[in-house]
Amino acid sequence: MSQTVVSARNVGKTYQVFSQPWDRLRELVTGRTCHLDVHALADISFELAAGESLGIVGENGAGKSTLLSILSGVTSPSGGEFSVQGKVASLLELGMGFHPELSGHQNIFLNAAMMGLSETETQEKVPEIISFSELGEFIDRPVKTYSTGMTMRLGFAVAVQVEPDVLIIDEALSVGDGYFQKKCMDRIREFVDSGRTLLFCSHAMYYVSHLCPRAIWLRGGRAEAFGPVDEVVHAYENYLAAKADTEAEVDEIELGPAKITSIRFVDREPEGGGARFAPAERWQLEVAWRVDSPAHQTHLGVSINTINHVQVCSFSTHQDGEPSFTGSLDYRARLEIPRLPLNKGEFSLYVYILDESGLHIYDQEYLPAAFSVASPSYRFGLMQIAHTWARSSEHGGRDQEPRPEPTKISR
């Protein structure tokens, strides 16, 4: 079995918060409690073997940075035990470990020394660090003159070029530009493939899922879930979607004189909470609603979102040039997509009843995890886009361009 490199056993961290600066002295002199205990972390346990990677996810304030600070040796736990074997490099808060008055070049030696490298070893690494950071002439300027992105570049370059056994990365990479973020992710991928250990914290579930086979979800300082990354990320994203829905309900107001009475998929029974489709299948959604007067004019709107609230596409009768629904009390309309262009994933639905202008919402319904799409083979990307390839041949022929089928709304 592989050697355990990182372990945590019932690790906890409690901070003492004093309402006034002199309360600390008062407590010391009188022996009376003048502080409030704030539990940032409680009962965290896991083990990582050499070559394993662990993703850490959770909302702001969940305890992610506190856990990584403990494992990095920046702070000590209030309870429990932890151990980290081998050379550790961490990228936590921007500028941590850098002296603002020293140049970037001088800070390389300072950071390398703190990681246990000799001056000779550091001298060998300096050209690679400077090259990777791409700071150019700024490497000889004080770090206090650096932008946040430049500070991150230097910090990451030092962290990866010293070849640690364990690399700990917090959300600091989010401040870099797209080009350098990709460069960092490529290097982290190389680090993981080389058989070393990574602890990676990010709000980007894409990165967590691709870099780490396992993940831990922290919520309120405790481990809400720990296990295979796809299961943990799925549970976390569903939690965020449900929370967003709850918050929307708290802010809900009386919307207007129309009410949605039913929403259903045509010829499709829900399975495990949502309907299931395959790519390019016929997709039909039927919506019924009631108004309190035949004089009211209404329109129907539908939005398809991913479960983490990224809008994929939307449809509305007023934008498609359909006349408003009027002259009755009850209405029913069907939105049809002849060939569903989605490749894979779980999707939520927003359904709206709008006024005659399509601006005011009379009623709305949110269906989390309303349907899913699964392909029999792995497909890249979220959607299939209607397209053609045009190429020349020896005979000057050209492929026939297929016509995309339109979206239809039937009444």
Which CATH number covers residue 270? 2.60.40.2550
Token pair recorded at residue 280: 């390019």
Residues 151 and 266 in one domain: no
As a whole number, mean pLDDT of residues 318-343 equals 93
Whether residue 397 is contained in a domain is answered as no
Q: What is the pLDDT of residue 406?
A: 56
According to DSSP, the β-strands at 258-265 and 166-169 are unpaired
Whether residue 18 is contained in a domain is answered as no
As a whole number, mean pLDDT of residues 390-406 equals 61
Tell me the pLDDT band of 94, cut-offs 50, 70 and 90. low
Is the pLDDT at 248 greater than 50? The verdict is no
Residues 213 and 324 in one domain: no
Q: Is the pTM of this model over 0.85?
A: no
Q: What is the pLDDT of residue 8?
A: 92
pLDDT tens sequence across 262-286:
999 998 877 666 899 999 999 999 9
How far is the first Cα of the chain from the last one, in angstroms, to the nearest whole number?
64
Tell me the pLDDT band of 395, cut-offs 50, 70 and 90. low
pLDDT tens sequence across 106-144:
989 888 887 777 888 888 888 988 988 888 889 999 988
Q: What is the pLDDT of residue 227?
A: 92
Domain limit, last residue, from 243, 273, 294: 243
Query: C-alpha distances in angstroms, 302 versus 229, 276, 331?
Result: 32, 18, 15
Q: What is the pLDDT of residue 394?
A: 66
Contact 202, 171 (CB under 8 A): yes
Q: Could you tell me how many residues make up the chain?
A: 411
Overall number of domains in the chain: 2
Higher-confidence residue: 226 or 26? 226
Q: Spell out where 181-282 has E strands.
A: 197-201, 214-219, 222-228, 258-265, 275-277
**Beta strands across the sheet bearing 166-169:** 88-91, 166-169, 197-201, 53-57, 214-219, 222-228
Residues 79 and 225 in one domain: yes
As a whole number, mean pLDDT of residues 37-58 equals 90
Residues 272 and 231 in one domain: no
Whether residue 25 is contained in a domain is answered as no
Is the pLDDT at 217 greater than 80? The verdict is yes
Tell me the pLDDT band of 6, cut-offs 50, 70 and 90. very high
Residues 227 and 79 in one domain: yes
Whether residue 382 is contained in a domain is answered as no
Q: At what angle do helices 148-161 and 119-133 cross, to 10 degrees?
A: 130
Residues 299 and 219 in one domain: no
Instruction: Give me the domain span that covers residue 333.
Output: 258-377
Contact 153, 135 (CB under 8 A): yes
Residues 235 and 336 in one domain: no
Whether residue 34 is contained in a domain is answered as no
Token pair recorded at residue 32: 């009376």
Whether residue 44 is contained in a domain is answered as no
Residues 114 and 220 in one domain: yes
Q: What is the pLDDT of residue 91?
A: 81
Whether residue 17 is contained in a domain is answered as no
At residue 215, the 3 state secondary structure works out as strand
Q: Residue 222 belongs to a domain with what CATH number? A: 3.40.50.300
Q: Spell out where 71-176 has E strands.
A: 79-84, 88-91, 166-169
Q: What is the pLDDT of residue 241?
A: 73
Residues 235 and 319 in one domain: no
Amino acid letter, 260: I
Q: What is the pLDDT of residue 250?
A: 38
Residues 199 and 118 in one domain: yes
Q: What is the pLDDT of residue 251?
A: 43
Token pair recorded at residue 16: 């003492």
Residues 269 and 237 in one domain: no
Contacts 24+ apart (CB under 8 A), 314-322: 315/407, 315/409, 316/352, 316/354, 316/358, 317/409, 318/354, 318/356, 318/357, 318/358, 319/358, 320/407, 320/409, 322/409
Whether residue 322 is contained in a domain is answered as yes
Residues 128 and 265 in one domain: no
